[in-house]
């Protein structure tokens, strides 16, 4: 039987009321049951893996240009050919409440240029509904945005007022809304990261701005859009994805070098200066890192102290710091200063990106 205990009643002028004490139940382990076969697991991840391995279901998927379409909030700002629209594992396809075949679905989706549209894919085990906004500008409108960018942004001091002016002028064409948003979000992110150009954004806002830019340009296949997405991926240390989007110039050279270091290989720098830059404003650290990657070894050794100083600064982001540490480690190793290379390697021995090469360098020197 539950005990009765005294407790103060705040509405009873200091009196007391009797509150039954709820008996404490013994702790029971939390379990997770498979709703297919009834097997019980003590770990949610173990149950998920069990379902994946033993009870696979066919979940329909919608892809465009080899990329998966999100179920909610997807925006199509570029037009794709019917062959680019791929529907997988769907036994029934419904577009805007109308049943269609797979071939007809691809044809219809390739022709839509505006408005909100709903696509439902159904298999024996699953039904998925995609809500997609189509806002596809004309080639003339896209070129007008790029012309405004070249006129107001390229080779000009990057400032908040100039970005606002770019937005105002570009919008006069009444098209390319997501193109304008993606470009301007990236530029605002550059200002936020560097804390310059009269920005009112906090420094930590740059990540949100960069990612918003990448999202706005996700399905846009234009050189400028791809370069912006590449630089955002480079900022996030997604080097392979960045190189695919920008296969030439400084971005590609930096990606190839850092990807090589990530795979556990030393990367000899170029014998001479390589690759010209691009006309897209970038933050100071990204510009410095990419420039360093394109230098020959002699110049890398000469400028390494300056780069190393950036790694020690409080405002240097973790993503940039680990890139700088990896480049410093590689430069010291290639220059024959193995002790200094080990010093940098010890900072990276637990890095998910560069631990393989770091531990290899440490072992090579210790076992020498």
Q: pLDDT tens, 221-248?
A: 999 999 999 999 999 999 999 999 998 8
* pLDDT for the residue numbered 12: 47
The pLDDT-based confidence of 9 (bands split at 50, 70, 90) is: very low
Residue predicted with more confidence, 30 or 91:
91
What's the pLDDT at 279? Answer: 82
End-to-end Cα separation, the chain, in angstroms: 74
Q: Which residue has the tokens 């560069």?
A: 354
Dihedral of the CA atoms 314, 319, 324, 329 (nearest 10)? Answer: 120
Alpha carbons 78 and 119: distance in angstroms, whole number = 18
Report how far residue 20's alpha carbon sits from residue 335's, in angstroms, rounded to the nearest whole number.
77
Query: Token pair 């998927």 is at which residue?
Result: 61
**Rounded mean pLDDT of 325-348?**
95
pLDDT of 94 > 90? The answer is: yes
Residue in 236, 299, 244 with CA at minimum distance from that of residue 270: 299
258-309 tens-digit pLDDT: 999 999 988 887 777 766 667 899 999 999 999 999 999 999 999 999 999 9
pLDDT of residue 26: 53
User: Residue 57's pLDDT band (boundaries 50, 70, 90)?
Assistant: low
Mean pLDDT, to the nearest integer, of 252-256? 93
pLDDT band at residue 11 using 50, 70 and 90 as cut-offs: very low
How does the average pLDDT of the chain come out, rounded? Answer: 88
Quick one: pLDDT at residue 223? 94
pLDDT at 320: 96
> Which pLDDT band, with edges at 50, 70 and 90, does 2 fall under?
very low
pLDDT digits (tens, 9 = 90+) for 174-222: 889 999 999 999 999 999 999 999 999 999 999 999 999 999 999 999 9
Q: Over range 108-133, report the average pLDDT.
A: 95
**What is the 3-class SS of the chain, one letter each residue?**
CCCEEEEECCCCCCCEEEEECCCCCCCCCCCEECCCCCCEECCHHHHHHHHHHHCCCCCCEEEECCEECCCCCEEECCCCCHHHEEEECCCEEEECCEEECHHHHHHHHHHCCEEEEEEEEECCCCEEEEEEEEECCCHHHHHHHHHHHHHHCCCCCCCHHHHHHHHHHHHHHCCCHHHHHHHHHHHHHHHHHHCCCCCCCCCCHHHHHHHHHHHHCCCCCCHHHHHHHHHHHHHCCCHHHHHHHCCCHHHHHHHHHHHHHHCCCCCCCCCCCCCCCCCCCCCHHHHHHHHHHCCCHHHHHHHHHHHHHHHHCCCCCHHHHHHHHHHHHHHHHHCCCHHHHHHHHHHHCCCCCCHHHHHHHHHHHHCC
pLDDT of 333 > 70? The answer is yes
How confident is the model at residue 6, as a pLDDT?
A: 46
pLDDT confidence of residue 55 = 60
């Amino acid at each position: 039987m539950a005990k009765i205990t005294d407790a103060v009643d705040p509405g009873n002028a200091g009196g007391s009321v009797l509150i039954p004490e709820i008996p404490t139940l013994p702790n029971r382990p939390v379990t997770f049951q498979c709703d297919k076969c009834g097997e019980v697991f003590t770990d949610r991840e173990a149950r998920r893996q069990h379902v994946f391995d033993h009870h696979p279901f066919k979940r329909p998927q919608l892809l465009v240009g080899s990329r998966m379409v999100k179920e909610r909030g997807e925006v199509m700002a570029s037009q794709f050919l019917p062959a680019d629209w791929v529907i997988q594992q769907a036994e029934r396809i419904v577009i805007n409440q109308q049943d269609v075949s797979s071939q007809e679905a691809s044809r219809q989706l390739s022709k839509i240029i505006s408005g909100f549209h709903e696509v439902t894919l159904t298999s024996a085990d699953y039904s998925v509904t995609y809500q997609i906004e189509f806002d596809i500008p004309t080639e003339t409108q896209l070129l007008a945005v790029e012309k405004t960018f070249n006129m107001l942004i390229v080779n000009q001091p990057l400032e908040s007022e100039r970005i606002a002016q770019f937005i105002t002028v570009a919008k006069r064409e009444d098209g390319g809304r997501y193109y304008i948003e993606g470009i301007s979000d990236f530029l605002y992110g550059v200002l936020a990261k560097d804390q310059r150009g009269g920005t009112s954004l906090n420094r930590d806002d740059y990540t949100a701005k960069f990612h918003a830019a990448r999202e706005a340009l996700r399905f846009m296949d234009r050189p400028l859009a791809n370069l912006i997405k590449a630089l955002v991926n480079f900022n996030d240390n997604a080097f392979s994805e960045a190189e695919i989007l920008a296969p030439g110039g400084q971005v590609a050279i930096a990606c190839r070098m850092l990807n090589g270091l990530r795979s556990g290989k030393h990367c000899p720098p170029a014998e001479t200066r390589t690759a010209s830059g691009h006309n897209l404003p970038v933050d100071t650290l990204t510009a410095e890192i990419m420039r360093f990657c394109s230098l020959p070894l002699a110049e890398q050794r000469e400028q390494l102290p300056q780069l190393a100083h950036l790694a020690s600064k409080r405002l240097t982001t973790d993503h940039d710091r680990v890139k700088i540490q990896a480049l410093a480690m590689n430069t010291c190793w290639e220059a024959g200063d193995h002790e200094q290379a080990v010093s940098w390697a010890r900072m990276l021995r637990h890095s998910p990106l560069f631990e393989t090469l770091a531990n290899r360098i440490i072992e090579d020197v210790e076992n020498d």
